[in-house]
Structure 1
């Protein structure tokens, strides 16, 4: 009777460990695609609530596929089991009949990490032309075609030369203004793209303060600030950034989000991300003013 009890106990442990295992599943949203076509790859994970799992980001090597965009969703937890999912939009530029993709998920522990891979999903190459006939078939046509008249090369050369002279004069007169307008519009477009993505990631971080999201928010903000100020924000620490900009509130905001990344603690990130967005907006306005002043000085 004692042996039977021990056996049942071991079986219970086995079933418990299986119930607490990490399940990773991946599949394409369609079985075939044309060359360069945008295709979604769905990555799903089912794991215990106590486990911290991170999906790959844009630094992962998706070859021979090319990553276009990553779309994440809010985690769902029920009865101690968490379900996570993300969609990776990719394009295939390989001429192989089929390509395969398997993505990892990283379980973060205190001193190391464990990598789980999804099943290998297949994406077939869809050819635009099903087949090319070996012998081309020509249609009979005995209708006479009119002959083209001789082309007036002298007139064409004169017209082309006149257009080139006009364009050259226009470029000399308005080159600086056109360059300034181009720079200004480029900065406006970059700001709109940054603001839209930063607000989206910040909202997700407020709803689910996860390490990966916090890292994406900080990386996006530092990258934009570095591009608009030519200062090494990516290399600086939070205190160095605060000193360089002369704003102690920036250190507080960055420190709040750093607590999620490095300490794994939840924090009220909404106030911090709002302040960082306003700092970026101020630098953006300063950049536009600088471009306008450079144009006026010339």
Structure 2
């Protein structure tokens, strides 16, 4: 090998052997442990035999990244026999590592470091992994589609039923307030407001134009004699000042409750 070597630089090691031509001799290959050196390549020369003596030679190329000042290497030559092999070591060679830094201290005091004091804010750009975001979004979309395919009808039915209950609760509260007022003091205006609230609720519940129909037209739409009589009673109270209207309005509320229950059952069964 060369006398001196820099870390990471390549050096050559020449290995040769002379032996009886009837022997089987092997040189180290790339799988051999060459520590502290790292194997790079090998140039092998053909065997020469003369007067019963064979000669083999090869040039190995190594690098090292160890920082020890002196490093040593010797390579074996294997003579293969019937049951085992005999190892012959080459002469030991050495190389000196050229050190660019004469002394590396374990610690350096802060006052000896070439530091510059600067307390100014340095903006650091936020790095976001958009690929991960896209993957997560794709997974969520696929999961949402799968859930909707298998449970879409149940989800729709749940939210529709929830909305129906909320609308019915609001209607009943408003309607009962007006009924309470009429029980204490009759008012044609309050009666008309109660009838209008009932028609609006029934219109959004059944998708029928209750608010645009007269009492006669409503009877033709529903075909319920009791409901028709109650609507006539309410009309007489509004236009003829018949104060016996609370019972008729309560019947309209009962009819709305029945239609709500029927609609809720249809929604739960996906109809």
| Length-normalised TM-score, structure 1 | 0.47
Residue number among 160, 164, 167 corresponding to 1:183 in the alignment: 160
- 1:279, distance to aligned residue in structure 2 (A): 0.5
The CA deviation string for residues 247-291 of structure 1, in whole angstroms up to 9 with x for no partner, is 22212222222123212x141222111111000111111111221
Partner of 1:241: 218
For 1:225 and 1:214, the matched residues in 2 are separated by 17
Query: What is the count of residue pairs matched by the alignment?
Result: 153
**Number of the residue aligned with 1:162:** 139
State the 1:143 CA deviation: 5.3
Q: What secondary structure, in the 3-state scheme, does the structure 2 residue paired with 1:234 have?
A: helix
Among 252, 255, 261, the alignment partner of 1:276 is 252
Match of 2:200 among 204, 219, 223: 223
- 2:211 is paired with a residue whose SS is coil
Per-residue CA deviation, residues 110-155 of structure 1 (Å, 9 max, x unaligned), is xxxxxxxxxxxxxxxxxxxxxxxxxxxxxxxx65356245222222
Q: Describe the SS at the equivalent of 1:158.
A: helix
Report if aligned partners of 1:238, 1:255 keep a CA contact under 8 Å in 2.
yes
Report the Cα distance in structure 1 between the residues aligned to 2:141 and 2:159, rounded to whole angstroms.
22
CA distance in structure 1 between the aligned counterparts of 2:142 and 2:268, rounded to whole angstroms: 29
Per-residue deviation, 1:175: 1.4
1:84-233 → structure 2 map (5 Å cutoff): 144=121, 147-233=124-210
CA contact (8 A) 2:186 2:243 kept: yes
Q: 1:281 to 1:162 in 2, by over 3 A?
A: same
- Counterpart in 2 of 1:116? none
- Greater Cα radius of gyration, structure 1 or 2: 2
Distance 1:151 1:229 in 2: 52
- How big is each residue's C-alpha offset from its partner over 1:28-64, in whole Å with a ceiling of 9 and x where there is no partner? xxxxxxxxxxxxxxxxxxxxxxxxxxxxxxxxxxxxx
Name the Cα RMSD after superposition: 2.0
Structure 1 unaligned runs (5+)?
1-141
**Equivalent-residue separation in structure 2 for 1:180 and 1:287 (angstroms):** 11
Aligned residues of 1:250 and 1:276 also touching (Cα < 8 A): yes
Normalised to the residue count of structure 2, the TM-score between the two structures is: 0.52
Alignment check: 8 A CA contact 2:230 2:248 kept: yes
With over 3 angstroms needed to count, the CA separation of the structure-2 counterparts of 1:273 and 1:174, relative to structure 1, is: same
Whole-Å separation in 2 of the counterparts to 1:293 and 1:176: 10
CA distance in 2, matches of 1:154, 1:223: 52
Indicate the residue corresponding to 1:287 in structure 2: 263
Contact kept in structure 1, 2:230 and 2:249, CA below 8 Å: yes
Q: Describe the shift of the 1:217–1:206 C-alpha distance in structure 2 as closer, same or farther (beyond 3 A).
A: same
Distance in 2 of aligned mates of 1:149 and 1:227: 52
Does the 8 Å CA contact 1:242/1:249 hold for their aligned counterparts? no
Q: Which residue of 1 aligns with 2:229?
A: 252
**Distance of 1:275 and 1:150 partners within structure 2:** 67
